[in-house]
Amino acid sequence: MNISALYNLYLQHPQITTDSRNVNAGDLYFALKGDRFNGNQFALESLEKGAAYAIIDEDIDAENVKLIKVPDVLTTLQQLAAHHRNQFTIPFIAITGSNGKTTTKELVSAVLATHFITYTTKGNLNNHIGIPLTILRIKPDAQMAVIEMGANHQHEIEGYCIYTQPTHGVITNCGKAHLEGFGGEEGVKKGKGELFQFLSTHDGTAFAFEDYDYLHSLSQQVPNVIWYGTKSGILKGKVLQANSFLQVEISGAIAITVKTQLVGTYNLPNILCAATIGHHFGVPADKIKMAIENYVPSNSRSQLIQWRNNEVILDAYNANPSSMQLAIENFAQMPGENKVLILGAMMELGESSIDEHKALIQLIQQYPWNQVVLVGGDFGKIQHPYLFFPNSTDAKLWLEEKQPAMHQILLKGSRSMQMEKVIS
């Protein structure tokens, strides 16, 4: 079955699932394969549960007209997404970067949604499966699409652009994330820069934070660049307060003061980006202000929460050397005399992992802390004067025994460390 014919089926059955456990009546089931699963094995089960059709790429010993065999299910899913994307002439805004891309995506979507029918990536479904599924969830009434793109190696963003066809793009930053896959910091810039490379050859528009020198070189060939920053740009921003929640003053083309529910001065570029994109597309300033102020972070991203008479910054969704440095420095500058660092190890750093963990220790030693607790990974392979636990469960037991009160606690670590369990 060719893509056009499959697309006609999709128009009749626009709900797609890749998990046979979550099949609803009328779904199109795509039998994806991975290292530890094979969706083809559940194709018949999905049909029994009510799926309209099951798209497979292996022979199944059954005669069923609802089984549609294709050369490769994943490639077919991506081609179907590309075909659907081509039905739209609306702005498609792609957002990538080492840190802050999910928060930026959420803020941009919140701002645009006050004025336009906006579809966006759910959660962080930002990979080779999540992006096509996001595109295929966009309905004909769409006026804006905001697509988050994650990557851990070169040519990944380039591949996503083929079926996303972004008209606008944002690189939040290029930091020390996924160094193993990208092959170092320059590899990160090259990999993230693939988004701007696509925009440069497709008459696209980039939104860029003027303060980052590397974004000037990465965007050099992009025909349309809209700058924002702390010193210049169409919008300028400065931090008014960062004692608890971040308060920002935005000036330039619009003038607003925004009292956010975000923690950390490192969120200033993300806020400015959302305001700049909103202004570019004609969202009134009062709606921009309202959307940013109403945004509440979730999923362990820059959350400020109260836990047993303690103030906790829960920023445990992920971690790399760049985001760790920003989080620690920001925490050090916040008020409080009973600060506790509970940090999980950083992953996917390759040969530089030990050195990066040592550098983090040196950074920690520059500030006075009530207590420092390091958890798992390469923290266990280097010398340091701090408490160490092999996992978050043991760290949780220690914290339960300590029973702190009126403390300020920063919880951060790579996703696999599950640092949120420390206070669960």
pLDDT of residue 177: 65
Both structure tokens of 202: 């497709």
Domains in the chain with CATH codes: 3-71 (3.40.1390.10), 88-294 (3.40.1190.10), 303-423 (3.90.190.20)
pLDDT of residue 182: 73
Helix axes 285-294, 101-113, angle to 10 degrees: 130
Q: d(Cα 278, Cα 330) in Å, to the nearest integer? A: 27
pLDDT of residue 179: 65
Q: Which of 40, 206, 33 is nearest to 128 (CA)?
A: 33
Sign of CA dihedral 317, 322, 324, 328: negative
pLDDT of residue 343: 97
Q: d(Cα 181, Cα 188) in Å, to the nearest integer? A: 9
Length of the chain: 424
> Which pLDDT tens digits describe the chain residue by residue (424 residues)?
899 999 999 999 999 999 999 999 999 999 999 888 999 999 999 999 999 999 999 999 888 999 999 999 999 999 999 999 999 999 999 999 998 999 999 999 999 999 999 999 997 789 999 999 999 999 999 999 999 999 888 889 999 999 999 999 999 999 776 666 677 788 889 999 999 999 999 999 999 999 999 999 999 999 999 999 999 999 999 999 988 899 999 999 999 999 999 998 999 999 999 999 999 999 999 999 999 999 998 877 888 999 999 999 999 888 899 899 999 999 999 989 999 999 999 998 989 999 999 999 999 999 999 999 999 999 999 999 999 999 999 999 999 999 999 999 999 999 999 999 999 8
pLDDT of residue 236: 98
Q: d(Cα 346, Cα 374) in Å, to the nearest integer? A: 11
Contact 414, 378 (CB under 8 A): no
Residues in CB range of 8: below 8 A, 6 or more apart: none
Q: d(Cα 277, Cα 228) in Å, to the nearest integer? A: 10
pLDDT of residue 200: 98
Q: d(Cα 180, Cα 66) in Å, to the nearest integer? A: 43
pTM of the model: 0.90
Single-letter amino acid, residue 209: F
Contact 82, 56 (CB under 8 A): no
pLDDT of residue 233: 97
Alpha carbon separation from 52 to 30, 44, 66, 266 (Å, rounded): 11, 11, 7, 47
**CA 6 distance to own-chain centroid:** 30
Q: d(Cα 283, Cα 114) in Å, to the nearest integer? A: 8
